[in-house]
Every structure is written in structure tokens, then in C-alpha cells.
Amino acid sequence: MVGASPPDQHTLDPADWPAFRAQAHRMLDDMLDYTEHIRRRPVWQPIPREVRTKFQSPLPQGPADLATVHATFLRDILPYSVGNAHPGFMGWVHGGGTPAGMLAEMLAAGLNANVGGRDQIPVEVERQVVRWMRDLFRFPQTASGLFVTGTSMANFIAVLVARTAAEGAQVRRQGVASSGRRLVAYTSFAAHGCIAQAMDLAGFGSNALRIIPVNERHQMDLSVLEERIVADRHDGFTPFFVAATAGTVDTGAIDDLAGAAALAKRHRMWFHVDGAYGALAMLAPDLAPRLHGIEQADSLAFDFNKWGQVPYDAGFVLVRDGALHYQTFASPAAYLRRETRGMAAGSPWPCDFGPDLSRGFRALKTWFTLQTYGAAGLGATISKTCALAHYLKQRVEGEPELELLAPVSLNIVCFRYRADLSHEMADEVNREIAADLQESGIAAPSTTIVNGRVAIRAAIVNHRTTADDLDRLIEATLAFGASYAKTCARAYA
Ligand SMILES: Cc1ncc(COP(=O)(O)O)c(C=O)c1O
């Protein structure tokens, strides 16, 4: 073709690879420095207004030097994350991540694998993790599993598979109203809000979730559960789903899983376990017996990014009946046709087990973490966090100004500063203490309500946390609390 212009040579790859490589090494070194010396930093710090404003600038039109963009990251982003890599972070339920997981994430991004399907080893890596989890939780060979964003999504998938079990696969075309049955589900007062959200998203409505009270150990009261199931059946409802929790978000309580499994079986209901962080206690020989009954679950949801320390995000769902799981999501499409050879081989694919077609390679950072630290190594860090929680409990009990608000079942300690004030004022003081702790950069617990009282809640999830970090939490709580007590006394004088 005489006269045709050559194709454009422009790509997004570096024009100067050696310079890019040098910059890449600097960026890696910076993140390794950040992790190695994280103790020198505050856990968290408030974001200055001028920094926040910088993130309102318009879409850049021209290119910028990678080193300049990275300098902005170091200055304006890195110091202002929530700080869950820091050993003083104890809020909510956040894992700390690991350097090996970080490198694996970089490798996954380099490969840029789309793990929705097709015949590729990244899918085999995910299948291997599925098999490992199947064995760990003693699920049958026919069980299926899938990486998802987090336990909220995993619980939602479980509700959808249970919906197929109850209504048949035609529910996908005809909708939940078509059978005319009023399906209802059950979980405890201590369960995470995403179970109600899953019922909402699945089309049942959150009112179809019955909230069962808990006993003094914050476990679902199984006798009330059974009474409610019987009453609902009598009133024309169809009970179909029971969600027990292994490690409740507020206090770390583990429901009686074997009891709940037997009850669900008796009433021919789906038995789901939300083990968002607690399920991986299975890796710790001293804790695993506490999960007795989990092996009977029809589905199990958990996150590798919590106690498993895999960098965010790495949620996971395991389903006992893999065929039912497949029937819930698989959708034939010409552009996704399967073959027996070529890249379209290797069916079923991960996209047949969940709503995502395009999916990142979450399995790789999980696989690296399990390979690098071993199941025993991760189990030991999980046991350590529980031992530390026990230490914190003892410290709380040893301070007359502090009061323990809930039993310490695993790794979560709920306590409060005993302010000699009205109920409301004392709650307010404890909320203020938690905010002071966060803003001081010393420790970052969160708060919750336990038996109607505001609790300072320390969830020890991070493998870097030590007894010294807990001592600092106690000393700072006492100091902030004493200063509020003084202020309040002056106000009332
Ligand atoms: C018991 C429980 N279930 C569900 C969730 C939600 O998990 P995710 O944040 O991964 O969606 C959490 C989060 O902490 C949890 O503790």
C-alpha cells in the first residue's frame, strides 16, 4: 500500500525504561519504608482542609511526570489513610496487610489478569484456594467457592443461592413474588447489617428478616429462634434461611453453630454462617474447636483481608452444593460460549458463580499470603490477637476507672470509662474519648453500643499489635477520661 502512513507507535509504556525502572524502585522502597517504620507515624491524623481541597481539582488533560504524581501521593495521600496497617489501629474489623501481600498485588496488577473465566492459570490459582478452603472447613468435594469484594457481597450471594434452593432456578426469570410464598429468614440481633441488606437486595425486603435476641454471651438465642420459626409457619410464612455468626462485629461472639445447624436441618432451612473475620479462627488449633458446626453450613462467608491479613479486598464465599451455586448465576451468552479447546475452554468459570464478569486476581495475594506465611503462621497470629485481647481485658479489669462491657470471646474488647455522670453524659464522654484517642494518633479504637451503653471497642486484628500498644491505649484512655471528669466536675461545681 504505497503512501499509507505507518500505524501510530505511541503507547502508554515508558519512553525511557531505565528511568522508569529507577522510579519504580524508589516507589517500592518508599512503601517498604512506610511499612518497616510505621510505628513512628500516628495511627491516623485529621485531614487538613487544604489537603482535602486538592482533591477537587479538575480532570488533568495533559501528562505529568510519574515522580511528580508519586510525590503528591507521598505528601497528600499516604499520611491520611485510615491507618489499619498501624499496630495501634483497633477500630471496626480491619486487617493489617503484609509486605508479601503488597508485592503479590503488584504482580497481579502487572499481569492484569481478568479472572472472570477463560483457560488460564490465574483461574487455577483461584480454584486451588477454593480447594484449600473446602478442605479447611471440611466441605465436600462438590462445594464451590468464589472470591468477591467482601463479606457483604458473600452474604448476598449466599442469600441468592438459598433463594434458588427454596424456589427453584425459575425464580431468576419469574422473580420472588411468582410462587406466592412469603419467604422469611432469621439472624440474631448481633448480626451484621449486611444480612438485612442482602435480604433487601435479593427482593425479599429487609422486613422478611427476623431478628432473634441474644443470650448473655451475645449468641443467638436458639430457643427463641425455634419458637419464631414455628410461629411464622403457623402464620403462613415460609422460613428458608438461618444466618448464624462466627465472630460478631460488636463483641466477637460465636453463635452455637452446631445447635443452629441442627435446628436449620430440623426445619429444612438453609444454614448460612457469616464468618466475616471469625471463620479463619479455623487456622488456629486452639480456637478451631470453637467453630464446631461450621462444617455443616450450606454456605459460609468470610474475608481473607481481616484476620487473614491479605491486603484489601479479598472476600470469599463457599457453597456446599456447587451445582446449586452454578444454577444461581450461570447465564449462557454467545460472547461467553465455552469450548473444549482454546482459550474458551475450562468451563465452569468464576463468572458462573457470582454477578461479576470482569474480576481482578484477588486469589494471587491470598495464595501468596498462604504460601509465604503458611496456615500455621497465620493461625499463630490469630491466636496471638486473642491472647492480646485477654491481656487488654485484664488491664481494663485492673483499672477502677474502667469497666468491661461484654465478655471477651475472641479478639474484641468492649469497655468504657466509668464517668460518674448521667447515662447520656457518660456515653458522650466515652464517644469523646474514642475520638480523642483517634485524633491523638496514639490508638484508634471505634465505638459501639453494648447493652444500651456506649463502648470503646478495641478489635485486635492486626498482626503487628503488641502488649505495648494496648498499654498505650489504656494510659491514653485514662488520661483523656480524667481530663473529662475534671471538666465535668468543674461544670457542675
Ligand atoms: C460479622 C460481619 N459480617 C459482615 C461484615 C461485612 O464485611 P465486609 O466489610 O467485608 O463487607 C463484617 C465487617 O466487619 C462483619 O464483622
Residue to probe by mutation, ligand 1, list 249, 300, 307, most atoms within 8 Å of CB: 249
Q: In this predicted structure, what is the pLDDT of residue 4?
A: 61
Q: For residues 272 and 300, is the Cβ–Cβ distance under 8 A? A: yes
pLDDT digits (tens, 9 = 90+) for 365-391: 999 999 999 999 999 999 999 999 999
pLDDT at 6 over 80: no
pLDDT digits (tens, 9 = 90+) for 241-267: 999 999 999 999 999 999 999 999 999
> Which H or E run includes 385?
helix 362-397
The finding on whether 156 has its CB within 6 A of some atom of ligand 1 is no
The finding on whether 303 has its CB within 6 A of some atom of ligand 1 is yes
pTM for this one? 0.96
* Residue 301: CA count within 13 A, CB half-sphere: 28
The finding on whether 255 has its CB within 6 A of some atom of ligand 1 is no
Residue 374 Cα to ligand 1 midpoint, Å, equals: 24
By the 10 Å C-beta count (0-12 exposed, 13-18 middle, 19+ buried), 420 is classed as exposed
Q: In this predicted structure, what is the pLDDT of residue 486?
A: 80
Query: Which of 217-221, 254-258, 332-336 is predicted with the least confidence, judged by mean pLDDT?
Result: 332-336
pLDDT at 492 over 90: no
Q: What percent of the chain has pLDDT over 70?
A: 98
pLDDT band at 8 (very low <50, low <70, confident <90, very high): confident
Distance CA 111, CA 374 (A): 24
CA-nearest of 367, 463, 296 to 128 is 367
- Which distant-in-sequence residues (6+ apart) come within 8 Å of 485 by Cβ? 419, 420, 429
Question: How high does pLDDT run on average in the chain?
Answer: 96
> What is the rounded average pLDDT of the residues 415-439?
94
For 248, other C-beta atoms within 10 Å of its C-beta total 28
The finding on whether 252 has its CB within 6 A of some atom of ligand 1 is no
What is the grid cell recorded at 388?
492480646
Q: Which residue has the cell 501481600?
A: 101
pLDDT band at 91 (very low <50, low <70, confident <90, very high): very high
User: Cα Rg for the chain, rounded, in angstroms?
Assistant: 25
pLDDT digits (tens, 9 = 90+) for 288-314: 999 999 999 999 999 999 999 999 999
Q: Which is the closest atom of ligand 1 to the Cα of 92?
A: 14
The finding on whether 187 has its CB within 6 A of some atom of ligand 1 is no
Q: For residues 214 and 244, is the Cβ–Cβ distance under 8 A? A: no
Distance CA 171, CA 165 (A): 10
DSSP 244: E
pLDDT band at 487 (very low <50, low <70, confident <90, very high): confident
Q: In this predicted structure, what is the pLDDT of residue 5?
A: 62
Distance CA 445, CA 430 (A): 11
